[in-house]
A = this chain, B = another copy of it.
Amino acid sequence: MVGIIDLNTTEEDETTPSSVSLSSPSSSSASALSASNLSPPGSSASSTVCLELWHACAGPLISLPKRGSVVVYFPQGHLEQLPDLPLAACDLPSHIFCRVVDVKLHAEAANDDVYAQVSLVPENEQIGQELKERKIEGDGEEEDMKAAVKSRTPHMFCKTLTASDTSTHGGFSVPRRAAEDCFPPLDYSQQRPSQELVAKDLHGFEWRFRHIYRGQPRRHLLTTGWSAFVNKKKLVSGDAVLFLRGADGELRLGIRRAAQVKCGATLPAQCSQQLNHSTLTDVVNAISMRSVFNIYYNPRASLSEFIIPFHKFLKSLDHSFSIGMRFKMRFETEDAAERRYVGMITGISDLDPARWPGSKWRCLRVRWDDMETSRHSRVSPWEIEPSGPVSSCSTFMAPGLKRSRSGLPSSKHEFPVPDGIGVSDFGESSRFQKVLQGQEILSFNTPYDGVDQNRHLSETRRCVPSSLGSGIATRRNGAEGPVASSDVSHKGIGCSESFRLHKVLQGQEIIPRSPFRRSPTSNDVSENGCFGISDGVQMTSSRNGWSAMMQGYNTHMRPPTQVSSPSSVLMFQQACNPISNPSPAYNLSDHEEQGIGIQSWFRNSETCDGKRMSSHSEHICRRDDQWGISSFGVSRDHIQHGIAQSTFRGGHDIVTSCKSSCRLFGFQLTEDRHVANKDDDVSIPATSLKPGSSFLPHVGEQFHLKPPAITNAVGSNCTKGILQQHPENYHIY
């Protein structure tokens, strides 16, 4: 391991399982990664801004194209971002294959927003064909950078600022282990230990803070200098700061503003936006001359990426998207965590038939299950993961469950599916997730019991007040019976139950991938079910013919049915049924042996959870590794191994993350004893609801662009944190 220190090793209170969950079950994968000899990617790419800091500030979902790789550039999407661009009569195709000549990382001088300058040179159309043929190794090549970044980012933490942190009254309360991990050690023998910290921000500006350790009980604080920083950066509670100690020992400092301020992204002060102005005609020029042009990409201000890695684009063509198909899509919540939204395709058509006929840019019209506004009513195929009729569901789901979807308003466009494998399961789970979002922490430790889970689960669900939404909850309750009975009727009860439960936790981003799906039959079903058969409205072809060619490539693209590695299944089952084999999950020394750091572990769970429902194992980690940066950096079966384990534990830990807003790589640092307390009754969550917190969707008025200095509504404690994760009326982008 290169410079990664496991925070947990220094802790004395590791008896709480949630703390354990911070450790690294996928350590073997990570160490395998760091062992792989990667070329340092940051040398010239981070010319302006520290690479690690940039990525830390960009957030977990953001990835960048790798230099030298081939991407698909969508002028249409580019144009969308330019508010008042004089519509130069550009006669560009809807997408252009380009090679990434360079990637420069920058930060806005005004607000520290990170953005990237991507230099592209247009490629000829043959590049697609060529790449297609050597696609496999191309994919393999692209799994390095992010992992390399991670391995070189030993010590960092990210804390969402509390009201106290941002008030003028006091300083910044540093989470204990964050201070111990990132800051130089204090001389605790002194009565009042203190030191001066110097941290460079994105622009290289040095900020100085007095770091003291005082109070009863003792705690780490940044006092002098902190207020100046808050003022200069215009930080408000809800924003996050992140400290990062590089390999050179230098402290770096970034900020990640709450999602609210993204609304201000259209301000003229946003130079990265402005820089794009009239770049489009550059493209016109560059294409004819095969010269370089620059794209400025502000990941936190952009609605959608308009530079898509080639292989991601290619893969999106694998799927035959049809109306009625359900899908998932990842977003970032206000507190920098990610969550997944579920929706359904309601139409496939050109966004702008006049100017961009046949473009796939946002060609899918969708409706979301829990976003009621019309924003984001269109997505591009590569943005979503089909989560429609997944064949493996049928192995333990009762057919009767399908009926439950009839009560869902979103099922209007459902299409008949070949063999009874409907979208109901995911529709159901997504509804349930919605229910959870308004609630206090639920005792999700129940699946670990391994006994009598069904009763607990049923009770949990019944805790949902019937006032949820126009009788849907009650109807859902009516469908509950078959679910439980179907679970019980299967042999692998522990796994199936945890699977279902984790699906429920989608709001916290964890959905375990069922190993059962790996059976050849389930694969066949998947191939011939929703994904393989195009029984809905087909996507229109891109006018340059590429799309059709790509689609014809569908089956060829797929590797032969993969045999899952035994270790993967084993690890998953271990995690899935801790009663039968608790030590891997709870043994403190486990992760130490494996030598994995918290950071990379979390990244893993973040990275891969979106792939679990895809029909092929090769799709695992596809979304976040889109730019060829693997969280693991290991061969594919290792990845599967890691996922199987980390998925489960990630789900566990994400629940605990509600307790605190301090996190590593966007995830919570703090463990919560309640979560793993096996004696807790499942009914507790309902009773522990804060008075005033509502089960109904939150109205957007709670979220101000600039919240008052002291506002409990923003990120002040666990309850609010969960509530914030449910932006019914508030939209992140």
Residues of chain A having any CB pair with chain B under 8 Å? 86, 88-89, 106, 108-110, 119, 267-269, 271, 274-275, 277-279, 281-282, 284-286, 289, 291-294
Q: When the two chains form their complex, are residues B277 and A281 in contact, meaning their CB atoms are under 8 A apart?
A: no
Residue of B nearest to A294 (CB): B86
Q: Which of B88, B269, B282, B286 is the one whose CB lies under 8 Å from A110?
A: B269
Q: When the two chains form their complex, are residues A88 and B268 in contact, meaning their CB atoms are under 8 A apart?
A: no
Residue of B nearest to A86 (CB): B292
Q: Closest approach, in angstroms, between the C-beta of A54 and any C-beta of chain B?
A: 15
Q: When the two chains form their complex, are residues B289 and A89 in contact, meaning their CB atoms are under 8 A apart?
A: yes
Q: Closest approach, in angstroms, between the C-beta of A206 and any C-beta of chain B?
A: 16
Q: When the two chains form their complex, are residues A293 and B110 in contact, meaning their CB atoms are under 8 A apart?
A: no
Not counting A271-B271, A274-B274, A281-B281, a sample of 16 additional A-B residue pairs whose C-beta atoms are within 8 angstroms of each other reads A86-B292, A86-B294, A88-B289, A88-B293, A89-B289, A89-B291, A106-B268, A108-B268, A109-B267, A110-B269, A269-B269, A278-B278, A281-B282, A281-B285, A284-B285, A285-B285
Q: Closest approach, in angstroms, between the C-beta of A67 and any C-beta of chain B?
A: 15
Q: When the two chains form their complex, are residues B268 and A109 in contact, meaning their CB atoms are under 8 A apart?
A: yes
**Can you give 25 contacting A-B residue pairs, CB < 8 Å?**
A86-B119, A86-B291, A86-B292, A88-B282, A88-B285, A88-B291, A89-B289, A89-B291, A109-B267, A109-B269, A110-B110, A271-B271, A274-B274, A274-B275, A277-B278, A277-B294, A278-B278, A278-B281, A278-B282, A278-B293, A278-B294, A281-B281, A281-B284, A281-B285, A284-B285
How many Å lie between the Cα of A326 and that of B279 in the bound state?
43
CB-defined contacts of A108 to chain B, threshold 8 Å:
268
Q: Top 9 nearest A-B pairs by Cβ distance?
A: A109-B269, A281-B285, A278-B282, A281-B282, A109-B268, A271-B274, A278-B279, A274-B275, A274-B274
Q: When the two chains form their complex, are residues A269 and B267 in contact, meaning their CB atoms are under 8 A apart?
A: no
CB-defined contacts of A86 to chain B, threshold 8 Å:
119, 291-294
CB-defined contacts of A269 to chain B, threshold 8 Å:
109-110, 269, 271
Copies of this polypeptide in the complex: 2
How many Å lie between the Cα of A133 and that of B348 in the bound state?
58
How many Å lie between the Cα of A318 and that of B563 in the bound state?
85
How many Å lie between the Cα of A282 and that of B88 in the bound state?
8
Residue of B nearest to A270 (CB): B271
CB-defined contacts of A281 to chain B, threshold 8 Å:
278, 281-282, 284-286
Considering residues A86, A108, A110, A281, which has the most beta carbons from chain B within 10 angstroms of its beta carbon?
Answer: A281
Q: Closest approach, in angstroms, between the C-beta of A364 and any C-beta of chain B?
A: 31
How many Å lie between the Cα of A51 and that of B289 in the bound state?
41
How many Å lie between the Cα of A244 and that of B282 in the bound state?
41
How many Å lie between the Cα of A284 and that of B289 in the bound state?
12
Q: Closest approach, in angstroms, between the C-beta of A305 and any C-beta of chain B?
A: 20
CB-defined contacts of A274 to chain B, threshold 8 Å:
271, 274-275
CB-defined contacts of A271 to chain B, threshold 8 Å:
268-269, 271, 274
Residue of B nearest to A273 (CB): B271
CB-defined contacts of A282 to chain B, threshold 8 Å:
88, 278, 281-282
Q: Closest approach, in angstroms, between the C-beta of A284 and any C-beta of chain B?
A: 6
Residue of B nearest to A107 (CB): B268
Q: Which of B109, B119, B277, B286 is the one whose CB lies under 8 Å from A277?
A: B277
CB-defined contacts of A279 to chain B, threshold 8 Å:
277-278
Residue of B nearest to A109 (CB): B269
How many Å lie between the Cα of A363 and that of B3 in the bound state?
57
How many Å lie between the Cα of A90 and that of B279 in the bound state?
14
How many Å lie between the Cα of A435 and that of B294 in the bound state?
50
How many Å lie between the Cα of A106 and that of B294 in the bound state?
25
How many Å lie between the Cα of A291 and that of B274 in the bound state?
20
Residue of B nearest to A292 (CB): B86
CB-defined contacts of A88 to chain B, threshold 8 Å:
282, 285-286, 289, 291, 293
Residue of B nearest to A278 (CB): B282
Considering residues A119, A267, A275, A282, which has the most beta carbons from chain B within 10 angstroms of its beta carbon?
Answer: A282
How many Å lie between the Cα of A274 and that of B276 in the bound state?
9
CB-defined contacts of A293 to chain B, threshold 8 Å:
86, 88, 278
Considering residues A86, A119, A269, A284, which has the most beta carbons from chain B within 10 angstroms of its beta carbon?
Answer: A86
How many Å lie between the Cα of A282 and that of B277 in the bound state?
10
How many Å lie between the Cα of A292 and that of B275 in the bound state?
18
CB-defined contacts of A268 to chain B, threshold 8 Å:
106, 108-109, 271
CB-defined contacts of A289 to chain B, threshold 8 Å:
88-89
How many Å lie between the Cα of A267 and that of B119 in the bound state?
21
How many Å lie between the Cα of A281 and that of B293 in the bound state?
10
Residue of B nearest to A117 (CB): B84
Q: Closest approach, in angstroms, between the C-beta of A525 and any C-beta of chain B?
A: 51
Q: Closest approach, in angstroms, between the C-beta of A291 and any C-beta of chain B?
A: 6
How many Å lie between the Cα of A291 and that of B90 in the bound state?
11
Q: Closest approach, in angstroms, between the C-beta of A706 and any C-beta of chain B?
A: 13
Residue of B nearest to A90 (CB): B285
Q: Closest approach, in angstroms, between the C-beta of A119 and any C-beta of chain B?
A: 7
How many Å lie between the Cα of A639 and that of B591 in the bound state?
88
Q: Closest approach, in angstroms, between the C-beta of A395 and any C-beta of chain B?
A: 55
Residue of B nearest to A289 (CB): B89
Residue of B nearest to A277 (CB): B275
Residue of B nearest to A101 (CB): B86
How many Å lie between the Cα of A284 and that of B287 in the bound state?
13
How many Å lie between the Cα of A289 and that of B267 in the bound state?
30
How many Å lie between the Cα of A277 and that of B272 in the bound state?
11
Q: Closest approach, in angstroms, between the C-beta of A147 and any C-beta of chain B?
A: 31
